[in-house]
Amino acid sequence: MDAGPVRILFVCLGNICRSPTAEAVFRALAAREAPELNVAIDSAGTADYHLGSAPDARAQEAGRRRGYDMSARRARMIEPGDFERFELILAMDRSNWAALRRAAPRSARARVRLFLEYAPEAGVLEVPDPYYGGPNGFEEVLDLVEAASRGLLRHLREQARAG
């Protein structure tokens, strides 16, 4: 029986830096390293500052240097239906996590997690907001997001094996 894809939503504040990066990285690594997994991936923001905008040029450029393309993304805000649609709703930092937990119906709260829970070796639980910082911030975002994407893929493979 085909249970359909595992639906995963990445969430940050503006949906122009961190969550588009997570979406692009996870999509590329899943296709390359775990093609047997059936995943559906999306991203959203908790704020409406950049609705309809393409990802930040600095995030796109840093991603492109590592082979990730996020150019098709247009920023959107989290909406009520997301809490029904997605099995995993992965926040980039505690502030996004808290906003999501406030917006989520009680039945969906356990599906709202911090993305970096999947990268325990990183020793941090938040992907720092790179928007007002220097270019190194975007490299740090990519490092953390790559680590957590690999951890999440490991988790999903184990889950698929366990049935």
Residues taking part in catalysis: 12, 18, 129
Q: Which of 6, 13, 62, 99 binds ligand 4NP (CB under 6 A)?
A: 13
Amino acid, res. 78: I
* Smaller CB separation from ligand 4NP, 16 or 152: 16
Q: Which amino acid is at 121?
A: E
User: Is residue 25 close enough to count as binding ligand 4NP by CB under 6 A?
Assistant: no
Are the beta carbons of 31 and 69 closer than 8 angstroms? no
Q: Which stretch binds ligand 4NP (CB under 6 A): 10-18, 99-107, 118-126, 153-161?
A: 10-18
CB of 18 to ligand 4NP, least distance (A): 3
Q: Is position 17 an interface residue for ligand 4NP (rule: CB under 6 A)?
A: yes
Helix/strand/coil for 134: coil
Give CA–CA dist 132/129, Å, rounded: 8
Least gap, CB of 63 to ligand 4NP (angstroms):
12
| Binding-site member from 70, 129, 151, 152 for ligand 4NP (CB under 6 A) | 129
- Does position 18 bind ligand 4NP by CB under 6 A? yes
The answer to whether residue 43 forms part of the interface with ligand 4NP (CB under 6 A) is no
Nearest alpha-carbon partner for 42 in 4, 14, 15: 15
Binding positions for ligand 4NP, 44-73, rule CB under 6 A: 49
Q: Number of residues in contact with ligand 4NP, rule: CB under 6 A?
A: 10
Question: If you ran DSSP here, which 8-state letter would residue 20 be given?
Answer: H
Backbone angles phi, psi at 94, to 5 degrees: -65, -30
CB 115 within 8 A of CB 90: yes
CB 86 within 8 A of CB 109: no
Q: Does 16 bind ligand 4NP (CB under 6 A)?
A: yes
| H-helix or E-strand spanning residue 64 | helix 57-65
Q: Which residues bind ligand 4NP (CB under 6 A)?
A: 12-18, 49, 129, 131
